[in-house]
Chain A
């Protein structure tokens, strides 16, 4: 089942850069031979002197962005999420250590890079980036949030890693009212039995799962946790208190991403069951996203199943149910 009840916007990330480039002259962009994936061609044609393509040299891309950022610029640089993290970890550390306003953008994260297969499916980018001090880590859920996030990093400069969609993205959040803010989660649906915390493409799936659960008489709260770091601890703790169990849903390896981040908050603050939906520490393969989501356990059906499991764990006071 594919979550497609939403209108679609073309290239929200590239559009945001091109539009905001006018208002923020300090905005510059560095690419590494993937303008076609980062959707920066429009920015490049509007602001040719503020765009550089350094070729297949991701480390150099982040290093150059750091130099630009230490000269008064907010320097966006991007490539596929796998390369924007794995290939540039130490360069990202230097940018963060220097407090340089470098915004590293990982496009087509994890299984959304479906047709490219395992080498191109960045499933550990959030784990890598979350572990870097002074690094903010965001993941946009839709077109609205993508442009709002870009604007936020310009209004509040700082070293940032953000996951952004390539090409098309759905519109889930209201572009007239929604404003992204670091450290603030947003509740999209309320329910008393379980809370599903999702980020990125998993938000649409979480909403779909909540709908399916509602048909069974289960009330699921859905929270968009687009700021993984800083994370909205209050929202996690109130969900734990008010719904008694949690599910996390992420398009990422289960080690180090959203589920881990939520578990870190719960570990010392609340004793409630948490069931994490994500990729089970395996490499991906080629395939359309919905097929991959089914195969690798991150479909809306998997979220709904996890929600039922979390609720039964709650009923059993955290002890696993005997099969």
Chain B
């Protein structure tokens, strides 16, 4: 894949990454399929088309940085990083196995390309604010992306950080909310509603855009559009489907955190293969 892969290539990559995710969670014996499958297009678009990074030099000083604040979607990030060349794709098989570098929740010191350890929700945006402040202080022209879950928009610290980012006018900071509308115990709406989500972010002083979080072209367009507005931090509310791509996982609360057995894996891969065939067919 070249430096600027075409949308069709990115789509095929997303399909590969979904296969990786279900295989990893099947092999690891546990994991978070729902929120990993929902964030695939967001991470793929950012890592393969948007971010300035060098997989051969993961700590390159000029790189853009991404914080996966929703650290339970680790399987998606690991698959994206491996496919992007940060480490061998074969390593994905060790997901959550004893002694693995690929912990169910992320340890930055074990995985090249990971900027911040995560798993305890609600903290990522604060760290992103700190990074963006450091970049501004050091006159480094690089960007910070923070991928949040919609459940994290229930956490007080997220809003402390949102307030600070706007106060400091951090135009190089972009948040992307994987708005899959479900959380561990039920739907967001029934557990603790967050709507009107766009109004909340706008009231906190952010530029706000809402898109279909599975539409790669929309993601790329909206990121470009948001970056043309550098006076304030930007948030993209990416509406997604939890468990996207596997019919029996889609919009299903229990698949937030769930092991995948042999039969479920077979069905999942079959569905993903069929979808891939349709994608190729005219």
CB contacts (< 8 Å) of B126 on chain A: these are 59-60, 62-64, 66-67, 91
CB contacts (< 8 Å) of B161 on chain A: these are 60, 63-64
Partner of B157, one of A59, A70, A71: A59
A63 to B163, alpha carbons, bound, how many Å? 13
Contact call A94/B134, Cβ cutoff below 8 A: no
CB contacts (< 8 Å) of A60 on chain B: these are 126, 129, 157, 160-161, 164
A161 to B126, alpha carbons, bound, how many Å? 19
CB contacts (< 8 Å) of A67 on chain B: these are 116, 126-134
B194 proximal to A (CB < 8 A): no
A98 to B135, alpha carbons, bound, how many Å? 19
Task: Say which one of B88-96, B107-115, B199-207, B245-253 lies at the interface with A.
Answer: B107-115
Contact call A63/B130, Cβ cutoff below 8 A: yes
Most buried by B among A65, A69, A98, A99: A98
Residues of B123-148 at the interface with A, using a CB-CB cut-off of 8 Å, are: 123, 125-135, 137-138
A97 proximal to B (CB < 8 A): yes
Task: Say which one of A48-56, A204-212, A261-269, A283-291 lies at the interface with B.
Answer: A48-56
B154 proximal to A (CB < 8 A): no
CB contacts (< 8 Å) of A69 on chain B: these are 130
Q: Closest residue of chain B to A64, judged by CB?
A: B130
A66 to B134, alpha carbons, bound, how many Å? 11
B120 proximal to A (CB < 8 A): yes
Q: Per DSSP, are chain A's interface residues mostly helix, strand or loop, or mixed?
A: helix
Shortest CB-to-CB span from A186 to chain B, Å, is: 34
Contact call B137/A75, Cβ cutoff below 8 A: no
A90 proximal to B (CB < 8 A): yes
A59 to B158, alpha carbons, bound, how many Å? 10
Most buried by A among B107, B132, B156, B160: B160
A91 to B137, alpha carbons, bound, how many Å? 23
Most buried by A among B116, B130, B137, B161: B130
B187 proximal to A (CB < 8 A): no
CB contacts (< 8 Å) of A52 on chain B: these are 133, 168
Known: A28-B137, A90-B123. A63 touches B117 (CB 8 A): no
A49 to B137, alpha carbons, bound, how many Å? 7
Contact call B137/A63, Cβ cutoff below 8 A: no
Partner of A73, one of B117, B120, B134: B134
Partner of A63, one of B107, B132, B157: B157
Contact call A63/B127, Cβ cutoff below 8 A: yes
CB contacts (< 8 Å) of B127 on chain A: these are 63-64, 66-67, 70, 94
Q: Closest residue of chain B to A75, judged by CB?
A: B130
Contact call A68/B130, Cβ cutoff below 8 A: yes
Q: Closest residue of chain B to A68, judged by CB?
A: B130
CB contacts (< 8 Å) of B134 on chain A: these are 28, 67-68, 71-73
CB contacts (< 8 Å) of A49 on chain B: these are 137
Shortest CB-to-CB span from B139 to chain A, Å, is: 11
CB contacts (< 8 Å) of A90 on chain B: these are 120, 123
CB contacts (< 8 Å) of B123 on chain A: these are 59, 63, 90-91, 94
A203 to B212, alpha carbons, bound, how many Å? 63
Contact call A94/B120, Cβ cutoff below 8 A: yes
A213 proximal to B (CB < 8 A): no
Shortest CB-to-CB span from A148 to chain B, Å, is: 27
A312 to B138, alpha carbons, bound, how many Å? 61
Contact call A70/B160, Cβ cutoff below 8 A: no
A93 proximal to B (CB < 8 A): yes
A57 proximal to B (CB < 8 A): yes
CB contacts (< 8 Å) of A70 on chain B: these are 115-116, 127, 130-131
A67 to B138, alpha carbons, bound, how many Å? 14
Shortest CB-to-CB span from B46 to chain A, Å, is: 18
CB contacts (< 8 Å) of A91 on chain B: these are 123, 126, 157
A-B contact pairs, 12 of them (CB 8 A): A28-B137, A52-B168, A55-B163, A57-B164, A59-B160, A60-B157, A60-B164, A64-B130, A67-B130, A70-B130, A71-B130, A72-B134
Q: A64-B133, A66-B126, A66-B130 are in contact. List 4 more A-B contacts (CB 8 A).
A: A50-B137, A54-B160, A64-B161, A73-B134
Please report A residues at the B interface, Cβ cutoff 8 Å.
28, 49-50, 52, 54-55, 57, 59-60, 62-73, 75, 90-91, 93-94, 97-99
